[in-house]
Amino acid sequence: MFQSTNARTRQQVGGAGFYRIVYFFPQIIPAVIVGILWSYVYTPNIGLLNGVLRAAGLEGLTRSWLTDPGVVLWAIAAVAIWSSVGFYMVIFLASMQTIPTSFYEAAILDGATRWTSFKDITFPLIWDTIRTSIIYLAIAALDFFILVVVVSGGSTTTGARRAEVAALYLYNQAFDSSRWGYASAIGVVLLILTLLLSVVIMRATRRETYEF
């Protein structure tokens, strides 16, 4: 009886189960497989992306996505977003479902719009989740190694060099240039930056905690 009553007091997100499956699906695919699949999508001559652009009559937009210095990092970032958005979607859905529906019912009675309900109820009550997600995303952005290497075809390729992030730079210094001491120093700096970034985000996003 208690479980049934409690279930009715929680915010129900329409189609939550379906969206969890759709958005979370890329998350269960190993990063290496994701990288290989998208490297074929970005292939200049036979890749899916350029093929779709040609079929749509947008020949001028086709390019070598993984060697063009102006777009290579953005192309790989798009893959990272596609593969990780489901993780954050599930977190936010779970957080939203803990909000009692009575809050929204009271807001509707007071004449609140959807935007007002989101701004004054949903956003403050899921702020801790947003805060944690920002920290996790910032730390992941400092890594960003596997997709760059796999999608671009290797750490020594032109595409990888033009999308050289900190973790890839560390790898190249250690295993390509055999500068082990320098690579170790980079690793220590990355650790310190990660800790400092976490502290800065925690302090910058600190706000009043709401309990219900």
Whether the pLDDT of residue 184 is over 50: the answer is: yes
Topology of domain 14-204 in CATH is MetI-like fold (1.10.3720)
Q: Does 12 score more than 60 pLDDT?
A: no
Contact yes or no for 24/138 (Cβ under 8 A)? no
CA dist 172 and 23 (Å) reads: 33
Cα(139)–Cα(172) distance, integer angstroms:
20
Residue 19: predicted pLDDT: 67
Residue pair 65/44 in contact by the 8 Å Cβ criterion: yes
Query: Across residues 2-16, what is the average pLDDT?
Result: 45
- Confidence check: pLDDT of 175 > 60: yes
Q: 3-state secondary structure string, the chain? A: CHHHHHHHCECCCCCHHHHHHHHHHHHHCCHHHHHHHHHHHCCCCCCHHHHHHHHCCCHHHCCCCCCCCCCHHHHHHHHHHHHHHHHHHHHHHHHHCCCEHHHHHHHHHCCCCHHHHHHHHHHHHCHHHHHHHHHHHHHHHHHCCHHHHHHHCCCCCHHHHHCCCHHHHHHHHHHHCCCHHHHHHHHHHHHHHHHHHHHHHHHHCCCCCCCC
Q: What is the pLDDT of residue 161?
A: 67
Handedness of CA 112, 115, 117, 119 (dihedral sign): negative
Distance of CA 44 to the CA centre of its chain: 26
**End-to-end alpha-carbon separation of the chain, Å?**
21
Contact of 75 with 162, CB cutoff 8 Å:
no
What CA–CA distance (Å, rounded) separates 210 from 107? Answer: 17
Q: What's the mean pLDDT in 14-36?
A: 76
- The pLDDT score that the predictor gives to residue 3 is 37
Tens of pLDDT, residues 137-173:
877 777 677 788 888 776 656 666 677 777 888 888 8
- pLDDT tens for 39-98 read 888 888 888 888 888 888 888 888 888 887 788 888 888 888 888 888 888 888 888 888
Query: Whole-model pTM?
Result: 0.70
Indicate the average pLDDT of the chain: 79
Instruction: Delimit the domains of the chain by residue range.
Output: 14-204
